[in-house]
Structure formats: structure tokens, C-alpha cells
Chains A and B, each alone.
Chain A
Amino acid sequence: MSFEIVSSGFQHRQRTGTPLSQALKTGIVFGVLSLYLALVGVYLTFDKSWVVVNVLSMGRTLLFVVPLLAGVQFARLNRSQSRAVQLGGTLLVGLIVGGFTACLLPVILFGNLRVMFVALSSPLAKMLALGLTPVLGAAVLVAGSAAAALFGALLTVMSPTVRRPITVGLAALAVVALLQEVLQLILRGGGAAFSFITRGLFQYGGLTVRGAIIVFVAAALVSIVVARLRAPFKARFAELPPGAARFLRQAGIVILLAAIIFFPLIGGSFVAQVFLLVGLYALMGMGLNVEVGLAGLLDLGFVAYFAIGAYTIALLTADSPHALASMSFWAALPIAVLVSVAFGFLFGIPVLGIRGDYLAVATLGIGEIVRVLVLSDVAQPLLGGAQGILNIPSPAIGSFELATPTSLYFLTVCCLALATYFAFRVQDSRLGRTWMAMRDDEDVAQALGINLVKTKLLAYSIGAAFAGVAGAIFAVMLKSIFPHSFQLLISINILALIIVGGLGSLGGVIVGALVLIGLPELLREFGEYRFLLYGAVIVAMMRLKPEGLWPARIRRRETADA
């Protein structure tokens, strides 16, 4: 029987009910979501940052974004209903969501749940009451929620020509507000012209009122202009000879890629550090994508190969009592890759006969055994135990040391480019087809003469090689390594990022890494909730968009078929 990685075809369709029952359901779902956000402390955490300084905090915005989304959802489900039903339903949805949230106020003020829920504190009460008295605040909260829901529904049903500028403007505002710290950092470094922009838009801690208006209006205008120009531009593009069109498209992609690749040069070392991490995760993602996305082998012990690459570099180059040699990084790198490959091969052998979900657990077990052994006193004399291995030198080209995040970032980009090219060629080759066949139906693949042992071990080994390179760079990035850096968490993160990008899709790996690793690093507010987010994202993607943000080639073709 085949194990399709991502479900396809049949999904349980939910029965649609009357508008009233849908309003109740939507209201309750989003109301519970709002309660959840309050309980895990999201509202309060985000209340510390501003969308517009001293006017609107992110927490308060979020408070109304939830009912707004509820309104959108309800309006989507009830497009065909009469205006009156839409209006009434949306109001009901907003009131329910607001009511749920407002219920927290008496709970905090009169109940005594603080022992259980740390987040239910008086600052939260103050925030929920919007700085007013509790009663008035609750009323405003509920009314505001209803208004937000109405606004959301209105956005959904209005004509796209009006909707697009508004949503684009709001989205731009949200992005600028979230990224304000990094943006200010970048702009400050950019000289007089940029500092003019900085002063115009920002003050310490975020956007000014004037800045917010400028961002919103500018983005909306751009969106209008783009919408106007799009049709004639498309027509022009269609008239071009196919060769030229393809050239233009490729040039566009190259420019976009170059912009992303060289962005850290402008962004300074903080941005470079973030991009370095993104690159390392993308490199590991490429490896896991070979195993899970192409060959259908769900490997939860993947972090082991990352650790093996890192430890090999440390043992071969570090200036530490545990070191076995004092090679240069460049000499040690191929060895690290080979060792990772060897372990990928070795760990692959026992699990050759295990399929599907059992395989996931078995590989998880292997990864955990590696971690426990590295941590233990048995391996302590060799690997340094919990204290890890320190003093790993930076790689050097001649006398130039790759010590800064920026230089290591470019090293990572080179490795990533190689890995991507490698994966790209392999996936369309005979081996890639074999993997896909095995993923779809192992027995049939074997009956067509495919040697499963060889095919599986190649997948494990190639996956391990990529992770080994990432581990090697990771070791010189931190200059010291500890077993605690190599937890199951990493395997799950990588799995999450390739799912978000789209299983089996090379572009998806990069997109996934940018979204799941890059964004939370840039947005400090998210830091605390990033793992929460990963869990939610995995579930949401599997349910709503199993093909990912950048679907693999084959899946895109399928949507073209339909």
C-alpha cells in the first residue's frame, strides 16, 4: 500500500449549516482563539511594542485583528447570503468574539486564577480595558470587536479595486511596524538620504503617526498604480517573442535572488547573522527534503547528522584537549561531510525495512540515542560531555579570517547553492524518479527492478551530507559546540520549514527557511512564541495547504491540469 506524503483527494468536508449556526461557530472558534492568545500571554507581550508609538500597541491591534479575521471568515462562508443576513451575522460574530475576550476582565478582577494562569494579571486587565474603567472598557472592547468584524466582512465583500489598496496599505503598515527595529538599523547605516527617511517615519520604538499615515498611503498608492499598469504590462509581455520573455523572467528571478543574497551586506551584522541561520537551516532543509520530500522517508533523527558534522569539525580543528588533530577548516570540511555520510549510511541500514510512521519513531530513537551518548560520561573523554568543545578556530582564506557573520553567511550561500544545484539535478535524474516511485509505492517500485536498499541508503547519505556541511559551518559560527544545541527540536524545525515551503520543492526549502527561521529572528516579539508557532504552522499547513507555499513542480502541474 502506498504512503502518500501529503494527503490528496479525499478530505473530510465540513457540513455547512445555517448562517446563524455558522455565526455562532465562527464566533466561538475565534473567541476561543482570543482567550488562548490571552492565556499564553501573547496579548501582553505584544502590548510592549508599538504599531504607532504611544498611540496603538501591537497587543491592542491584535485584540481587534482576531474579530476582524472572524468577520472575514464569516463573510467568506456566506457570500451568497442577503446583505441583512451578512450584516447581522457579522455583528453577532464580532460580539461573540469580543464577549469572550471581555469575559476575562471579571475573571481577572474577581477570580483568583492567577495561581494557575500567570498571564491573567492586572496589567492584562488594564490592557483589555483599553485604559478605561473595567465596565466601560469591556463595553468598548465588545463594540470595537463588532466593528472590527464588520470591517473585515466589508473588506471581503467589497470590490477588489477598492479592497486591494486598503489591504496592501494595512499589510505594509503591519510589516513596517513589525520590522521597525531592523529597518531603523538598516536606514541609520545608509547615510544622510536614509536618515531623512528615518526621521520622517520613525521615532525611538516605532512609527510616528505621520509615519504610519505615510506608509499606508504610499503602499496603497503603489498598489493602485501597479493594478493600473499590470494589464498593459502583461499584454506587452505576451507580445514579446518567447525567447525574450523567458530571458526577462529569468533575469527577474536572478535579480530577486541577488537582492536576497546580498541583502545582509546592506543590513549589517545583525541581519547577516539572521541570514546565516536561515542559510544553515535551508541547507539542512535541502537534506531532509531529499529524504522526506523526494524519497518519502520521514526522518526525525535528522539532527544527528548535523551534530556529527559539527563534532567532526570540532574534533579536527579545535584548540582543545579533546581535539584529535589541528587541521584547517578546509581540510576538515570534506572529512566532516564524509563522516556524516558514513553515519547516514550506517543509521540507514537497520531502518531499511521499516516503513511509514514506524520509521519516524525509529529514526527519532536513533537521534535520541546519539544525543544521550554524547551527553553521557561514557563519551565525555572523547566528546567533552555537557561542557562541549571550545575554541574552534574560524576558517581562513590566506590571512583573511571568515570570522564575521557576513563572511560565514557567504560561505553558507556558496554551500547552499551547490547543494541546491545538486538536489536539482538529482531530482530529475533516474535516481530522483526512483525516489519518487518508492515514495508512491515501495512494493511496485521494487517489482520494477528498483533496488530499495541502494535507493534508500543513497537518500539517507545525501541527506546526511547536506546536514553535515551545515553542522560544520554551525561549529565555526559558534566557535564552540554543546550537546544541547542538537535536540529533537531542530529536527522538528527543519520538518516544519520544508512542510511550509512545500515537500519535495527546492524553492520551498528556501522560502520555508526565510519564513520560519528568518522572520522569528527578525521579530523579537515572536521569539518567545516561535516554537508554538511552528507547531501551529505544521498543523495548519497539513490541513489547509498541504502542497506548501512553493509547491513542488509536479503539484503545480496538477493544479494546471484541473
Chain B
Amino acid sequence: MEATADKSATPPAGGDLAGAPRARPGSGDGGMLGGLRKVKRFTFVDVVLWLLRIGVAFVVIGGAIGTLIKGRYEASQWVDFVVFGLTIGGVYALLALGYTMVYGILRQINFAHGDTMMAGAFSAYFAANYFKRNGMLESDAVIAMVVTVLVAMIVCTLVALTVERICYRPFRHVRSLAPLICAIGASFFIQHTFRAMYGSTVRSFPDTSWLNGDVSLLGGSMPVTQVLVIGSAAAAMLVLYLVVHKTRMGKAMRAVSEDRDAAAMMGIDINRVIVFTFTLGASMAGIGGILYMLVYKQVYFFMGFLPGIKAFTAAVLGGIGNIPGAMFGGIFLGLVESVGPALFLDGLGVPAPYQLKDAIAFTVLIMVLVFRPEGLLGERRAKRA
């Protein structure tokens, strides 16, 4: 939106207050088509936005050059960064799917999605601990993990459906900020429920032998956890893609996200589709929660907030409402966040660049919302409001 700062350009003449018409100014305006003056103006808003672009570009380019000249990092370190970026990016992608699908259907941000993930991670933590105690986590790892994942998915679904029921369903026919505010409240409520139940201590996923160690892959070695996380995230996304594109319900979902009213007229039960969408998104969040817990080894009540916002960023990056876009956005953000501090900030002489990892993610968020709200991948659903 180009907006101009000064409005003095064509001040309406005072006129008398009865609203009588203004006299037309003399028509000696020298030929209508004669003047080729530039109409669009460069305002201070544009200046600030350009400064923002230039600033970010400077950090990215200047920092990268600086870092590469300094050569503080070896190739293997860069590989590590990239692999970690892929790992965490996979988790973001899983979460972003939930945002993007719900947005596609409801045109609303599910603000409590990160906390849904947190609930799933907590339940998975307890399930895994149970299996740890009876030894199954070691002896029958596959069964134990499958059950753990199922538990997380079910808990996430319950939480998400409750949120849908309380915060979104009542407001479905009004375009307002009410559902968003409601969901902010719900997010807060879920967080502090878990704090009240489990305290604010940080817990960690039980230790297992099969999670430690490295696997050798493509001539290098990678920690098992990361291989596992990347693999599971990819598998989950593949399943989701198939569900959305091959099942009846998935087709209904896509129809509703194209045009809700038309879909309703074609006999699609909107309520069922919405419930299905939230279920799918929450299941992905459940898996994402477990994987996040495996990566960062911690579970606590506030853990959903940051990945939630970042996953939302990923969803917008990929073009909100666009499922492959969310996957791409997640990976992209994971890489930027993982490689960024070393690549962009270290070269500028920033001390302890990894402290600013979240600031990088938030900068990406703001840049994409300001400059490309339709996402990096083209123009699907570009029009808002």
C-alpha cells in the first residue's frame, strides 16, 4: 500500500459550509494529456521501508562476506549447521502445516497451535517415561514409540478440537478480531494450565540407548536423533500430502478452502471438514512436538510459543493456505535460523551470535509480512481483506 505523507497536494477549497459546490477552477490547465508528470510519490514511508531492505541486505551480504573472509568455520561445521537446519526445519514444517491448513479453511490464525504442540510433547513425555520404567523403551522400542506418538496425536487433537469449539466455531460468521483474541486467551490458558499442573521446571525426554550415537551416511556421520527427526518429518508430511490429495475428506478440505459457501452448497458438511482439518493439523503438531523434544531435549510449559511463532512464519513464507509451501517455508526458516547467526552475524563482529537466532527468525517474520505477505512461492491467495 503506497501511502503518502502529506495531504496538502490538492486541498479542497474552503467553500461555504452549506456544502455548495465549489466553482470549477479555470480550465486553463494546458491540455489534459500534455503534462507527463510523475504521479507516484516517494514518501518517508518508502524511505524507511527501503532502509529496512537495505539494512537487512547489508547484514546478509556484508555478514556473509565477512564470515567467509575470516574463515572461522570449517566445511564440516557448515555441514553440521545445514543438517541441524534441516532437522529443526522439518519440525517447523510439521507445525506450519497446521497453521496453513486451518488458515486455508477458516482464514484465521490458530494462535494456540504452538501450545497444542506443547500439550502433545508433555503427554509424549509421560508416555515415554512409562515405557522407560517398564523397560519397553529399550526392548520394544518401535511399539513403545508408536504408542507414544499416538498418545501425543490424540492429546493434541483433543486440545485443538476444544480450542476450535470454544474460540473459532462461535465466531465463524463474523469477520472480526474476536476469534484471534479468544485464541490468544486460550493459548495463555493452556500454557498456564500446564504450569499449574507440572510446575515451570524443564524436563527432558528419557534417555535411551538407541537415540545416542551416530550413523554414517553419505561418507559422513550424523547423530541418530537428527536422522530420525528428518526421516519422521518427511514421512509424516508425505502421509499428510497423500491424505489431502487422495482421500474424499482431503478433497472436501480443498474445496472448502477454495470457496466455503460454494462447497457448502455442494453438500459438503463444513463442520466435519473443519474438525478434520484441526485433527490433521493437531496430529502433525503431536509428531512435531515429539521431534522438537528430541532435538532440544526439553519439555516445559512455554516450549510451544517460539516454535509456534516460527512455524507461523514458515507458513506465511510458503504462502499461507499452501501445503507444499508450508513444508518449504519450514525448511527455509530452519536453515536461515541455523546457518544465519554464523553466516550473517559472525562476520559483522557480533558477539555470541547464537543469542540472536530468534531475532533472525522474527526478522524473517516481519520482512515477509511487510514485503511479501503472499509468500515466496507465488501468488496463491495473495489477496487479503
Contact = CB atoms under 8 A, between A and B. Distances in A.
A495 B178 CA distance: 12
A3 B177 contact: yes
Given A5-B176, A365-B309, A377 B170 contact: no
Nearest to B180: A357
Contact of B370 (A353, A454, A495, A532): A353
Interface in B337-372: 350-352, 355-356, 358-359, 362-363, 365-366, 369-370
A357 B109 contact: yes
Interface residues of A, number: 75
9 contacts: A3-B175, A4-B177, A7-B178, A41-B197, A352-B1, A360-B180, A362-B366, A378-B352, A535-B187
A316 B189 CA distance: 38
A7 B171 contact: yes
A362 B365 contact: yes
B185 A7 contact: no
Contacts of B129: 115
B57 interface: no
Among A300, A360, A376, A528, which residue has the most Cβ atoms of chain B within 10 A?
A376
B181 A376 contact: no
Nearest to A350: B370
A3 B176 contact: yes
Given A118-B197, A365-B365, A376-B359, 17 more contacts: A350-B52, A351-B369, A351-B370, A354-B369, A356-B384, A357-B180, A358-B316, A360-B177, A362-B369, A372-B355, A373-B356, A377-B355, A492-B188, A529-B196, A539-B186, A539-B189, A546-B178
B308 to A, nearest CB: 10
Contact of A453 (B4, B170, B180, B369): B4
A536 B185 CA distance: 6
Interface of B: 1, 3-5, 7, 43, 45, 48-49, 52, 108-109, 126, 129, 166-167, 169-178, 180-182, 184-193, 195-199, 305, 309, 312, 316, 350-352, 355-356, 358-359, 362-363, 365-366, 369-370, 373, 384-385
Nearest to B312: A361
A11 interface: yes
Interface string A375-399: 1111010000000000000000000
B366 A365 contact: yes
A364 B352 contact: no
Contacts of A451: 3-5, 7
B4 A496 contact: no
Interface string A536-557: 1111001100100000000000
Contacts of B316: 358
Interface of A: 1-12, 36, 39-42, 115-119, 296, 298, 300, 346, 349-358, 360-362, 364-366, 368-369, 372-373, 375-378, 380, 442, 449, 451-454, 488, 492, 495-496, 499, 528-529, 531-532, 534-539, 542-543, 546
A349 B362 CA distance: 17
A226 to B, nearest CB: 36
Nearest to B187: A535
B192 A535 contact: yes
B49 A350 contact: yes
Contacts of A1: 175, 385
A376 B352 contact: yes
Given A535-B188, A538-B182, A539-B189, A353 B174 contact: no
A448 B242 CA distance: 49
B370 A354 contact: yes
Contact of B359 (A349, A372, A380): A372
Given A40-B193, A115-B129, A372-B355, A531 B188 contact: yes
A119 B197 contact: yes
B162 to A, nearest CB: 11
B355 A376 contact: yes
Given A372-B362, A376-B352, A538-B182, A12 B369 contact: no
Given A7-B174, A7-B176, A546-B178, A531 B192 contact: yes
Given A528-B196, A538-B181, A4 B175 contact: yes
Contacts of A5: 176-178
Nearest to A363: B366
A338 to B, nearest CB: 18
Contacts of A378: 350-352, 355-356
A120 to B, nearest CB: 10
B184 A377 contact: no
B359 A495 contact: no
Nearest to A45: B196
Contact of A362 (B173, B174, B370): B370
Closest 3 CB pairs of A and B: A538-B185, A535-B189, A535-B188
A536 B369 contact: no
Contacts of B190: 535
A36 B190 CA distance: 12
A366 B369 CA distance: 12
A449 B10 CA distance: 11
B187 A349 contact: no
Contacts of A375: 355
Contacts of A298: 177, 180-181
Contacts of B1: 352-353, 452
Nearest to B163: A539
Among B171, B175, B181, B385, which residue has the most Cβ atoms of chain A within 10 A?
B181
Among B170, B174, B180, B184, which residue has the most Cβ atoms of chain A within 10 A?
B184
